């Protein structure tokens, strides 16, 4: 799909703005960390762990898709008058533009992965007679004239995809090797030998291996997806692969934006409680004990319902369905943040209680340094590793929580693509005869990959920041 320079108008949803703000903060943080050796050191040790680097690579792919999916726009209607452009109510993203036909190739209803025919019988005309049978799909495998070429076509596409992926990764690897060999002034062969034996000082083997695998898998998928529905289609005939890929953004938004709410609350209140003690501590502890004793689902359900009512009362503010779904997603992030800051706050309170008695804080007090300065220069930098570990660990928990909440019905908007909604839909599909399993399966595969990668990454980060392990390094 090609769009001219004036054929669309950019749409910035609330979550888009926040995601890119977050991206900016992360980049600024990276820049800041690079300039401070004591902050950089643990990250270097993160980069030396093969498992962590592999997981990070997978995460990067997910994040990249999520970011592409956050560049929203509305297309100009083809029949709008020149000078009076009118734009479609449908909000698309850069990702939609990239995958092109995957979005538009909609079947009538369910079809199995890589199938040629629909999953439901219909009356079709064949040789002049009306029979009840499984009709051919409109797009899936439509290029095949004869159905007996089906298996060989799929095999050929997989083979071609793997081959292309392999070629691409070999090319990349060659470039990497040449660059590295030149940079370190070693012979090409020597560098290869060092790479093979794992004596590079960074996990080169893992990096190349994971990258190669992902390229091969991606290429094979691309070849298949061009003319088939790789994960089948759902009830309304939408490609499940497309739905799953679109759900990545929802998962990432929930996992990251929620921490944006959590962090200021947890850091401010946690450190304040631990540092000031006395009545400040009492009040903050009281607040989070009360908050903790209310079931989280209850709060979340009521907050989501309130937002729902608010949206319906002010339809003029939210001009598109996407904007309505988006504000509900944001509300979900907010309320999940409000209910989940207590754990980190408690941790930070304990750490601050310990830190405030340390001699360097006493020394600062002996100089009459103000509380704000003591907290920002002495307490916060020394609890920062805890914050980081908590953020990375919480991420996977939040992605899973979204799925559970959507399943219960208080999660994201039902029209929004999310793994939770896919699983919710699968409830009825599994009760169907014959059973429709691919939607649940696809959601499971994607969620499993993301959460596993996030957990492995978190594990590496936690190990690198653990001062008890530091001594042994």
As a whole number of angstroms, the distance between CA 121 and CA 35 comes to: 65
Q: Quick one: 184 or 371, whose CB is closer to another protein? A: 371
Report in angstroms how near the CB of residue 372 gets to another protein at its nearest: 12
The only residue of 187, 366, 372, 431 in contact with another protein, by rule CB under 8 A: 366
The only residue of 377, 397, 429, 441 in contact with another protein, by rule CB under 8 A: 377
Instruction: Point out which span in 88-96, 292-300, 369-377, 430-438 binds another protein (CB under 8 A).
Output: 369-377
Instruction: Point out which span in 108-116, 203-211, 295-303, 372-380 binds another protein (CB under 8 A).
Output: 372-380
As a whole number of angstroms, the distance between CA 266 and CA 284 comes to: 11
What token pair was written down for 425?
A: 């839909």
Q: Quick one: 147 or 370, whose CB is closer to another protein? A: 370
472 binds another protein (CB under 8 A): yes
Instruction: Point out which span in 193-201, 320-328, 366-374, 422-430 binds another protein (CB under 8 A).
Output: 366-374
Q: Quick one: 38 or 132, whose CB is closer to another protein? A: 38
Q: Quick one: 125 or 359, whose CB is closer to another protein? A: 359
> What are the C-alpha distances in Å from 155 to residues 137, 147, 151, 230?
20, 14, 6, 13
Q: Quick one: 5 or 357, whose CB is closer to another protein? A: 357
Report in angstroms how near the CB of residue 37 gets to another protein at its nearest: 7
Interface size with another protein, residues (CB under 8 A)? 20
367 binds another protein (CB under 8 A): yes
294 binds another protein (CB under 8 A): no
Q: Quick one: 200 or 369, whose CB is closer to another protein? A: 369
Instruction: Point out which span in 132-140, 229-237, 368-376, 409-417 binds another protein (CB under 8 A).
Output: 368-376
Contact between 117 and 137 (Cβ < 8 Å): yes
Q: Quick one: 379 or 422, whose CB is closer to another protein? A: 379
What is the chain's alpha carbon radius of gyration, rounded to the nearest angstrom?
A: 26
Q: Quick one: 39 or 208, whose CB is closer to another protein? A: 39
Instruction: Point out which span in 4-12, 136-144, 270-278, 376-384 binds another protein (CB under 8 A).
Output: 376-384
Q: Quick one: 384 or 448, whose CB is closer to another protein? A: 384
3-state secondary structure the chain: CCCCCCCEEEECCHHHHHHHHHHHHHHHHHHHHHHCHHHHHHHHHHHCCHHHHHHHHHHHHHHHHHHHCCCEEEEECCCCECCECCEEEEEEEHHHHHHCHHHHCCCCCCECCCCCECCCCEEEEECCEEEEECCECCCCCCCCCCHHHHHHHHHHHHHHHHHHHHHHHHHHHHHHHHHHHHHCCCCHHHHHHHHHHCCCCCCHHHHHHHHHHHHHHHHHHHHHHHHCCCCCECCCCCEHHHHHHHHHHHHHHHHHHHHHHHHHHHHHHHHHHHHHCHHHHHHHHHHHHHHHHCCHHHHHHHHHHHHHHHHHHCCCCCCCHHHHHHHHHHHHHHHHHHHHCHHHHHHHHHHHHHHCCCHHHHHHHHCCCCHHHHHHHHHHHHHHHHHHHHHHHHHHHHHHHHHHHHHHCCCCCCCCCCHHHHHHHHHHHHHCCCCCCHHHHHHHHHHHHHHHHHHHHHHHHHHHHCHHHHCCC
The only residue of 268, 365, 441, 459 in contact with another protein, by rule CB under 8 A: 365
Report in angstroms how near the CB of residue 259 gets to another protein at its nearest: 22
430 binds another protein (CB under 8 A): no
35-54 residues near another protein, rule: CB under 8 A:
37-38
Q: Quick one: 31 or 123, whose CB is closer to another protein? A: 31
Question: What is the x/- site pattern for another protein, positions 335-364, by CB under 8 A?
Answer: -----------------------xxx-xxx
Question: What is the x/- site pattern for another protein, positions 189-228, by CB under 8 A?
Answer: ----------------------------------------
Contact between 231 and 382 (Cβ < 8 Å): no
Report in angstroms how near the CB of residue 35 gets to another protein at its nearest: 12
Instruction: Point out which span in 59-67, 184-192, 236-244, 373-381 binds another protein (CB under 8 A).
Output: 373-381
Report in angstroms how near the CB of residue 364 gets to another protein at its nearest: 6
The residues that touch another protein, with contacts defined as CB under 8 A, are 37-38, 358-360, 362-370, 373, 377-378, 381-382, 472
């Amino acid at each position: 799909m090609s769009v001219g320079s004036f054929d669309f108008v950019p749409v910035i949803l609330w979550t888009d703005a926040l995601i890119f703000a977050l991206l900016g903060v992360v980049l600024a943080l990276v820049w800041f960390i690079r300039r401070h050796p004591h902050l950089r050191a643990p990250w270097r040790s993160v980069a030396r762990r093969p498992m962590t680097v592999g997981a990070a690579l997978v995460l990067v792919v997910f994040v990249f898709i999520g970011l592409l999916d956050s560049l929203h726009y509305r297309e100009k209607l083809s029949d709008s008058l020149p000078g009076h452009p009118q734009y479609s109510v449908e909000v698309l993203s850069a990702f939609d533009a990239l995958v092109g036909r995957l979005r538009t190739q909609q079947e009538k209803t369910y079809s199995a992965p890589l199938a040629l025919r629909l999953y439901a019988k219909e009356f079709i005309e064949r040789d002049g007679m009306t029979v009840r049978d499984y009709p051919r799909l409109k797009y899936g495998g439509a290029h095949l004239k004869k159905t007996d070429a089906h298996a060989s076509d799929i095999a050929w596409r997989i083979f071609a995809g793997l081959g292309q992926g392999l070629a691409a990764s070999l090319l990349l690897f060659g470039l990497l090797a040449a660059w590295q060999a030149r940079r370190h002034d070693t012979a090409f062969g020597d560098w290869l030998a060092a790479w093979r034996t794992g004596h590079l000082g960074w996990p080169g083997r893992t990096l190349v291996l994971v990258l190669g695998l992902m390229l091969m898998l991606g290429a094979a998928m691309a070849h298949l997806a061009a003319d088939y529905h790789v994960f089948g289609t759902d009830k309304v005939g939408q490609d499940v692969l497309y739905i799953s890929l679109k759900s990545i953004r929802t998962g990432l938004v929930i996992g990251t934006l929620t921490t944006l709410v959590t962090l200021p609350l947890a850091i401010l209140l946690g450190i304040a409680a631990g540092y000031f003690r006395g009545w400040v501590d009492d009040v903050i502890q009281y607040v989070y004990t009360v908050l903790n004793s209310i079931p989280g689902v209850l709060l979340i359900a009521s907050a989501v319902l309130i937002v729902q009512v608010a949206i319906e009362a002010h339809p003029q503010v939210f001009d598109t369905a996407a904007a309505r779904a988006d504000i509900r997603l944001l509300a979900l992030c907010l309320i999940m943040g409000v209910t989940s800051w207590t754990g980190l706050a408690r941790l930070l309170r304990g750490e601050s209680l310990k830190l405030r008695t340390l001699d360097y804080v006493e020394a600062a007090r002996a100089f009459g340094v103000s509380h704000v300065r003591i907290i920002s220069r002495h307490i916060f930098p020394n609890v920062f590793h805890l914050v980081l570990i908590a953020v990375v660990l919480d991420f996977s928990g939040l992605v899973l929580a979204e799925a559970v909440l959507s399943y219960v019905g208080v999660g994201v908007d039902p029209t929004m693509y999310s793994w939770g909604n896919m699983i919710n839909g699968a409830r009825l599909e599994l009760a169907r005869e014959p059973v429709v399993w691919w939607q649940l399966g696809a959601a499971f595969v994607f969620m499993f990959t993301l959460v596993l990668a996030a957990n492995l990454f978190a594990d590496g980060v936690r190990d690198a920041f653990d001062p008890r392990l530091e001594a042994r390094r």
